[in-house]
Amino acid sequence: MLVKTRSDEYSFTGLQLLNRRLPEMHEMKELIHTKMHMAKAGIYGEVRVDEVFQKYSFPFQYVVLHDVSLESFGKFQMDTVFLTQYFAVILESKNKGGKLRFKQNPSQLERENEDGKVDIFESPEVQIERNIYLFDEWLRLYGVKIPIYGVIVLTNSKVMIMEPSTKYTCILHQTIPVFLRNIVRDKVCLDVNEMHKLAERIVSSHQSNFPYPMCERWGINPNDLLTGVYCEKCKVHGMVKKKNGWNCLRCGHVDRLAHEKAIYEWFVLVGKSINNRQCKRFLHLNSPQSALRVLKSMNLITSGNSKNTIYKWDWKEIASRKT
Ligand SMILES: [Zn+2]
């Protein structure tokens, strides 16, 4: 039974939009580009784990919670929690391909790719250890005592373990059901009702890691971003507003609603509000009147009068929007 799905696609969407508006020579370009690919790989990995839980069910009462962020003595984020009456399991998924080595003292994950290049990452062992400790503390605050196990789930089929983890079991995502079924269920810690109540409490305590606006999150000066309305066809900024809509002078593409996407990008990347001057500059409009028309057409929340009007987006709406 699945009670909480994932909401962590914001990071990827935000990084994708940020990458698109960062000039090639910008000092953060390479980092943002890398982070974008990592976020994408992470989502692929998570989808594989999600599919396993959609396909299989278990012959006992359980709850699956994806992407849970809680706080006890510190904030912590768990990819997937499998909760039963007997135990809880934290599944930490890794979508890394290549040769993996779990190094000790200090704990690090070493990945060697096909070309022999070696990268070092934070070890999932450390993440799981920390999560088990903090989740246990969180549960104790609510008077719940239940064994918590951790498992590393590898979601990339092109992975080879050269040095295994000495602390936690490492499994392929296809074997999640077998692994979970084989955990001994001898002592009931929660009755079914308590288990579901606990799941509800976890969901209501979840703190969404909403990463917008991206410039603030990554310490990027919004003035560094490329401005102009983006052409989805030829991937260049600078569409021009004409009577029939937004026109790309490069490829001829016409998009009547391209300004809406640009305003959405503003809120994702730059700020929680926009004014006429900012809109005019960001969309390359030639007059305050055109900017006013654009802003008024978008059903934004307004405050202030005439020239000082600022426009805000309903953040719930932006959070539910994908791109
Ligand atoms: Zn174009």
What's the pLDDT score for residue 239? 95
pLDDT digits (tens, 9 = 90+) for 14-42: 999 999 999 999 999 999 999 999 888 88
Q: Which amino acid is at 8?
A: D
Query: What is the Rg, in whole angstroms, of the alpha carbon atoms belonging to the chain?
Result: 24
Mean pLDDT of the chain: 91
Distance 264 CA to ligand 1 centre (A): 19
- C-alpha distances out from residue 12 to 7, 21, 33, 160, Å: 11, 14, 11, 27
Distance 261 CA to ligand 1 centre (A): 15
pLDDT digits (tens, 9 = 90+) for 83-121: 999 999 999 999 888 999 999 999 999 999 989 999 999
- C-alpha distances out from residue 34 to 31, 37, 51, 286, Å: 5, 5, 26, 36
Q: Is the dihedral of CA 178, 179, 185, 190 positive or negative?
A: negative
User: How confident is the model over 165-194, as a mean pLDDT?
Assistant: 95
pLDDT digits (tens, 9 = 90+) for 254-313: 999 999 999 999 999 998 899 999 999 999 999 999 999 999 998 899 998 877 899 998
Measure the CA–CA gap between 117 and 185, rounded to whole angstroms.
Answer: 43
Distance 207 CA to ligand 1 centre (A): 40
Listed by start position, the domains of the chain span 2-205, 227-320
Domain 227-320, what architecture? Orthogonal Bundle (1.10)
Q: Which amino acid is at 209?
A: N
Distance 100 CA to ligand 1 centre (A): 42
User: How confident is the model over 196-215, as a mean pLDDT?
Assistant: 89
Instruction: Output the six-digit token pair for 271.
Output: 């700020």
Name residue, tokens 């009702």. Answer: 193
More confident residue, 314 or 205: 205
Calculate what percentage of the chain has a pLDDT beyond 90. 77
- Do strands 310-312 and 301-303 pair parallel, antiparallel, or not at all (unpaired)? antiparallel
Distance 278 CA to ligand 1 centre (A): 23
Is a pLDDT exceeding 50 seen at residue 322? no
Instruction: Output the six-digit token pair for 292.
Output: 């006013």
Distance 269 CA to ligand 1 centre (A): 22
Is a pLDDT exceeding 90 seen at residue 131? yes
What's the pLDDT score for residue 1? 61
**Which residues keep their CB under 5 angstroms from ion ligand 1?**
231, 233-234, 248, 250-251, 253
Distance 300 CA to ligand 1 centre (A): 28
